[in-house]
């Protein structure tokens, strides 16, 4: 039998070899694509280029956010920082009169926030930290978000990431056209970008560390986002992940919070904490879940006991924001964030007021009320916001009537 199959086995091996030979060829193509996208640039170089030329940066290959934000911090040495998860990404430097860096995304849990705080104070001590507290940081799920302390800096080429572009193509996260254009080294964007996510989605961090969602908000990204808030609603209804049902605050997480606040106090850093908002529809849905999110009510009472400068922004209606100003079911947009900043700034106890560019804040809120984002001036004025959440928002009006009512409601 062996002899009978020996000849066909050779042909078999040739065909198998041909298939396997495709792998290194595909790998080489992918490598070129990734290199042309700026994926292999170290974050220090990215920051240097951004501070010189502007542009957006977002790596799709590695989670470089932590290293990138620290590099930005090192370069800018800001007086004020915004710290937290992705929910703080819309706080922008242009509304401050002093250097500001958005460190959003560098902290996914309370102890990671303390870790970041320790790292930045070792570089340079900020005067004020705006810390967004996500409710789930205090629940059982918060335990699974504890960082492992290892953060890629973007320049490391790893063989095992070489075929990720194939996955992106299969998942239709990038189009063949985008892929080919980048491969050919052609700039596809009207503004400079580094990293595949920024190049393809037109979404990335600007030189102040805040995120600009050009792709989604201005309809530049061909793939449609999730309409309305359905994804978040599903998570709440099924009690999944960050929306897992919790009745009480996890004592370990609370201890993390106390430790963080103690450290800030010891370092003489003023921390302004706030519970960031969810769209009104999401707030109502969570409220309708009975006791499933009882721990959030507990948080509203207990956080001010530890944090003297704390604000409860959970319900955007209470400070005049609307669902149209959100990016999705989880992330407030720029105008919502600006409204929060205004409330915090108006409170003399926060000590924020002297650092804010009040005319700019008031003008922007007045002009962009009802919208999610304000375009970068240097990228050009041609971008028009669309109703990307399909909520029926009127994005054409510069100033939506009735959306400018603000209420000042600091919880402390």
11 part of the interface to another protein, by CB under 8 A: yes
**β-bridge mates for residue 82, sequence order:** 102, 130
Q: Which of residues 262-291 bind another protein (CB under 8 A)?
A: none
Residue 247: CA atoms inside 13 Å, Cβ hemisphere, count? 2
180 part of the interface to another protein, by CB under 8 A: no
Burial class (CB in 10 A: 0-12, 13-18, 19+), 330: buried
144 part of the interface to another protein, by CB under 8 A: yes
User: Could you tell me the smallest distance in angstroms from the CB atom of residue 148 to another protein?
Assistant: 14
Stretch near another protein under the rule CB under 8 A, chosen from 21-29, 41-49, 94-102, 208-216: 21-29
Our measurement of the distance from residue 407's CA atom to the centroid of its chain's CA atoms, rounded to an integer in Å, reads: 26
148 part of the interface to another protein, by CB under 8 A: no
26 part of the interface to another protein, by CB under 8 A: yes
294 part of the interface to another protein, by CB under 8 A: no
1 part of the interface to another protein, by CB under 8 A: yes
Q: Which of residues 156-175 bind another protein (CB under 8 A)?
A: 159-164, 166-167
User: Could you tell me the smallest distance in angstroms from the CB atom of residue 363 to another protein?
Assistant: 44
Write each residue from 238 to 267 as x if it is in contact with another protein (CB under 8 A), else as -, in one continuous string.
xxxx--xx----------------------
287-317 burial, b at 16+ Cβ within 10 Å, e below that, comes to: eeeeebbebbebbeeebbeebebbbbbbbbe
Burial class (CB in 10 A: 0-12, 13-18, 19+), 411: middle
Give the torsion sign (CA, 104, 105, 109, 110).
negative
Would you call 274 helix, strand, or coil by DSSP?
Answer: strand
Judged by CB, which is closer to another protein: 1, or 266?
A: 1
Would you call 194 helix, strand, or coil by DSSP?
Answer: strand
User: Could you tell me the smallest distance in angstroms from the CB atom of residue 360 to another protein?
Assistant: 43
| Candidate list 136, 138, 141, 191; residue touching another protein; CB under 8 A | 141
Q: Which residue has the tokens 């005319």?
A: 359
| Candidate list 8, 148, 150, 268; residue touching another protein; CB under 8 A | 8
Judged by CB, which is closer to another protein: 239, or 380?
A: 239
Would you call 257 helix, strand, or coil by DSSP?
Answer: helix
Q: Which residues contact 187 (CB under 8 A, 6 or more apart)?
A: none
Q: Binding residues for another protein, per CB under 8 A? A: 1-2, 5-6, 8-13, 15-16, 18-20, 22-24, 26, 140-141, 143-144, 159-164, 166-167, 237-241, 244-245
């Amino acid at each position: 039998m062996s002899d009978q199959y020996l000849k066909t086995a050779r042909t078999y091996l040739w065909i198998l070899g041909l298939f396997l030979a495709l792998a290194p060829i595909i790998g080489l193509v992918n490598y070129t694509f990734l290199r042309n996208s700026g994926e292999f640039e170290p974050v220090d170089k990215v920051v240097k280029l951004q501070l010189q030329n502007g542009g957006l940066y977002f790596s799709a290959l590695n989670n470089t956010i932590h290293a990138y934000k620290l590099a930005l911090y090192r370069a800018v040495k800001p007086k004020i920082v915004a710290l937290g998860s992705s929910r703080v990404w819309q706080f922008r430097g242009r509304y401050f009169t002093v250097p500001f860096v958005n460190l959003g995304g560098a902290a996914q849990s309370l102890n990671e926030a303390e870790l970041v705080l320790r790292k930045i104070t070792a570089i340079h001590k900020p005067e004020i930290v705006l810390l967004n507290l996500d409710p789930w940081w205090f629940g059982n799920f918060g335990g699974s978000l504890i960082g492992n302390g290892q953060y890629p800096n973007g320049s490391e080429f790893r063989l095992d990431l070489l075929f990720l572009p194939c996955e992106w193509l299969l998942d239709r996260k990038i189009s063949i056209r985008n892929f080919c254009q980048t491969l050919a080294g052609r700039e596809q964007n009207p503004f400079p970008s580094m990293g595949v996510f920024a190049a393809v989605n037109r979404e990335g961090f600007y030189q102040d560390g805040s995120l600009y969602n050009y792709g989604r908000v201005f309809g530049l990204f061909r793939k449609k986002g999730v309409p309305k808030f359905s994804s978040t609603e599903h998570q709440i209804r099924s009690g999944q992940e960050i929306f897992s049902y919790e009745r009480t605050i996890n004592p370990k997480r609370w201890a993390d919070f106390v430790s963080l606040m103690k450290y800030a106090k010891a370092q003489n850093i003023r921390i302004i904490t706030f519970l960031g908002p969810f769209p009104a529809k999401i707030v109502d849905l969570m409220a309708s879940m009975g006791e499933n999110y009882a721990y959030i009510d507990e948080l509203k009472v207990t956080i001010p006991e530890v944090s003297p400068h704390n604000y409860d922004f959970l319900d955007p209606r209470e400070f005049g924001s609307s669902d149209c100003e959100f990016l999705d079911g989880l992330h407030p947009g720029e105008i919502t964030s600006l409204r929060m900043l205004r409330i915090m700034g108006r409170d003399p106890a926060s000590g924020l007021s002297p650092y804010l560019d009040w005319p700019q804040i008031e003008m922007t809120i007045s002009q962009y009320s009802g919208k999610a984002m304000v375009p970068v001036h240097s990228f050009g004025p041609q971008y028009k916001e669309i109703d990307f959440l399909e909520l029926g928002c009127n994005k054409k009006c510069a100033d939506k009537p009735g959306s400018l009512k603000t209420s000042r409601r600091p919880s402390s």
